[in-house]
Each structure stands twice: as structure tokens, then as C-alpha cells.
Amino acid sequence: MTALAIPVVRRAVPFAAVICLLVVLTAILAPWIAPYDPNAIDPLNAYAPFSAAHPLGTDDLGRDLLSRLIHGSRTSLAGPLIVVVAAGTIGATLAITAAWFGGWFDALMSRALDVLFAFPGLVLAITVAALFGSGFITPVVALSVAFVPVIARVMRAAALRERNLPYIEALRVQGFGAWRICLRHLVPNLAPLLMVQAAIGFGYAMIDLASISFLGLGLQPPAADWGLMIANGQPSILAGFPQQSVTAAVAVVITVVAFTAVAERLATRFGGDVR
């Protein structure tokens, strides 16, 4: 059951696509559209309410929340993007090699991926971050590794199906080598499915990375990052100023829902079993 089974969600897909576009543009243009420096402290103005000067108010140090939210979109999008690009590249490469060579190589690769798949990605990433230190890179790398089997399993099944189609044999009959057939025919023909996989993975990666930041194992203060903002806003909730946590959480939820809705629409468009 996908979210698209809900009629409202299905009709909202174009709207979701616009949101995705806006979020991406925000991240790219952050320095130019943010009204303030996200790290500019103004203690006299702490916990400012909604106003024309500060549309979302300010946090405990008087930093403009809208500016922090806008700048936070950068790491919040870049993290998942790196994860799906890295996991997609590695996963697709492993999948196609396994499907192409088959036999014991395929069996070994598949079992290895199953073992990796058995680890929940988030737990793996948290463990690695705890061991090797927090920051931006460590959780992203760990999560990329955790996402490889997710993508590789789907891609392997598709590559196996594609590899057994007669046109691939016809290419072999024409004397083309494995390398060339894979790069020029298999990869381009599997690319749509890979894109869909990456798009769906993006939403999951975003939540996972936000969770890691929330737990304090990702980016460290004073970085503006949505997961970190949710965590750092907690004491303020008790103080009666929930804006920081709420706005950052809403940003995460809206972005994830929008990206996933678009991804699932792409999945139905390009057909096939995507999970």
C-alpha cells in the first residue's frame, strides 16, 4: 500500500512537486533569500514572537528562526542527496555485476547484501557515528552503506530480468563485450528504476539523518540543521516557546512527504515493483 492509494495524496502530487522545487531553490539560494545571518546572536531579542521583522520569531539566543530554517535546508537536503547518490551508484554497480556474472558471484553478493540488510540502517548509522565521532560526514557515509542493500536488491532483480531479454543475447551475438553491453545498454535501460529508487530513498534518508542530528550524533551547534533545531528547541518548548522545534519538524515532514509523493508517482509512471 502506497500513499498514492489515498486519493487526496494522489491529486496533491503536482502540488508536492512544486514544494520539492521550492525547497531545493531555497537551499540553493539560502544566502540571498535569508533575511538575517542565521548565526547572528541578539540576546536582547530572545524568544521574540511572530512579527514583520521576524516572521517565525527568534530562538533562545535571539537568532532569526526563518533564516535558520532557510539555511538548515542546505545540510538537510545535501545529506540525503549524498546518501542516495552514493548508495545508488554502489548499489546499482553491485547489482548489475551480480546479475551479469550470476553463479557463485551472484550468490555471494546477494547473501552479503542480505546480511547488511538485516541491520536497521538507522541503528548502523548511529553506531558508526557514536564510534567514529559526530559531524556531517560520518552519519552520511554510514547511512549510505546501510542504503546500499536496499537499492541493490531491487536493482539486482531488475537487472537479472533485463539481462535475460533476447536483445542482450543479440548484442553478445554481435560480438560486443560484457563491459560495453552493461554500460551502453543495461545501465541506461535500468536508469529510470534507479532514479525512482533514489527518490524514494531520499525521504527515508532525510528522516534518518534528522533523527541522528536530533540525537546529537550529527551536525553540532551552532550549525543550522533541521534535525538539530528540533533537538535544540526542546528546552524552549518548556519555556513556552515551541516555534523552533515545531517549524523545523514541519519543514522535515513537509519535505519528506512531498519528495516521497513525487517519488511514488514516478514509480507508478515507470512501472515495476519498487520495493
Partner 1 sequence: MTLLQFDRLTVAVSGRPVLRRVTLDVAAGEAVGLVGESGSGKSMTVRSVMRLLPAGATVGGTVRFDGADVGALDAAGLRRMRSRDVAMVFQDPRAVVNPVRTVGDFLTEVLRDQGTGRSEATRRAAAALSEVGVGDAMRRLQQRPYELSGGLLQRVVIAAALLTGPRLILADEPTTALDTTTQEEVVAILAEQRRLRGTTLMFITHDLELAAAVCDRIAVMYAGEIVEILPAARLHSDARHPYTRALLGSRPGAVAPGERLRTVPGVPQSALTAPPGCVFADRCPHAEARCRDVRPVFTGSAACHLLEVL
Interacting residue ranges for partner 1, rule: CB under 8 A: 165-167, 169-177, 180, 184-185, 188-189
Q: Give me the least distance between CB of 101 and partner 1, in Å please.
A: 13
- Euclidean distance between CA atoms 165 and 143, whole angstroms: 34
Smaller CB separation from partner 1, 7 or 188: 188
Smaller CB separation from partner 1, 46 or 171: 171
Q: Give me the least distance between CB of 184 and partner 1, in Å please.
A: 8
Cis peptide bond N-terminal to 166, omega within 30: no
For residue 121, give the C-alpha cell.
540502517
Q: Give me the least distance between CB of 212 and partner 1, in Å please.
A: 39
Q: Give me the least distance between CB of 99 and partner 1, in Å please.
A: 15
Smaller CB separation from partner 1, 184 or 275: 184
Smaller CB separation from partner 1, 114 or 169: 169
Smaller CB separation from partner 1, 6 or 191: 191
- Euclidean distance between CA atoms 233 and 235, whole angstroms: 6
Q: Give me the least distance between CB of 189 and partner 1, in Å please.
A: 6
Q: Which residues contact 64 (CB under 8 A, 6 or more apart)?
A: 34, 35, 36, 38, 40, 54, 56, 58
Smaller CB separation from partner 1, 94 or 181: 181
Q: Give me the least distance between CB of 180 and partner 1, in Å please.
A: 7
